[in-house]
A = this chain, B = another copy of it.
């Protein structure tokens, strides 16, 4: 099975139940939605109570990584191989239809299911901490002040093999019922995008320190999802 046609298994946990024409399970679709995001919402259960924590994450193959403080309640709990759902979503438009029922949004979302583990192998953790920076800013770690032993210890890295995943996408914009389309009611689609502002260099930079060429995807006005996907391709090429 080629990389392009590989799919995540489908079962009652991840099968898209509602509006299933919007669902997809293939690696290419799932990974494209993941790689266009910096922020995921990781969900886990502690004493029967669900928690949903926003966190920076990244994908490597069919694994997801995220990190946090070694002292974090969430990460200490997740370390033991508990079931986790990692969800990523992009809001692409607001849809103002001619009736309330057809009001909607365009979006791309992935729910990924697996069991989280803490990365304890020191070499794997070191590599993960490098990619935690370089996945977003290719080759940046080599230019930085090296991580101290104390910083290394204070950071926990979590990893989850994606056991199941589903992508759900809506991109059709306005979709009024045919019999509503000639009603004299205003209807529109409003695109929504997350973009970068003008980068603000540190005020204390020495004059000889210039912006690295590897940050080229991160320009004012660029879409964040496009820049993140480009950086991911560069980092893992």
Residues of A at the B interface (CB closer than 8 Å) are 13, 17-19, 38-39, 41-45, 48-54, 56, 68-69, 71-73, 83-87, 89, 91, 93-94, 96-101, 103, 105, 107, 109, 111, 113, 129-130, 132-133, 136-137, 140-141, 143-148, 151, 154-155, 173-174, 176, 180-202, 204-206, 208-212, 215, 218, 224
| A52 near B48: Cβ-Cβ < 8 Å | no
Number of copies: 2
The docked-state distance in angstroms from the alpha carbon of A183 to that of B105 is 46
Q: Chain B residues near A103 (CB, 8 Å)?
A: 132-133
Given known A-B contacts A83-B50, A99-B145, A196 and B185 have beta carbons under 8 A apart: no
The docked-state distance in angstroms from the alpha carbon of A57 to that of B91 is 13
Given known A-B contacts A18-B69, A43-B50, A192-B197, A105 and B38 have beta carbons under 8 A apart: yes
A147: min CB distance to chain B, Å: 5
Closest B-chain residue to A113, C-beta based? Answer: B49
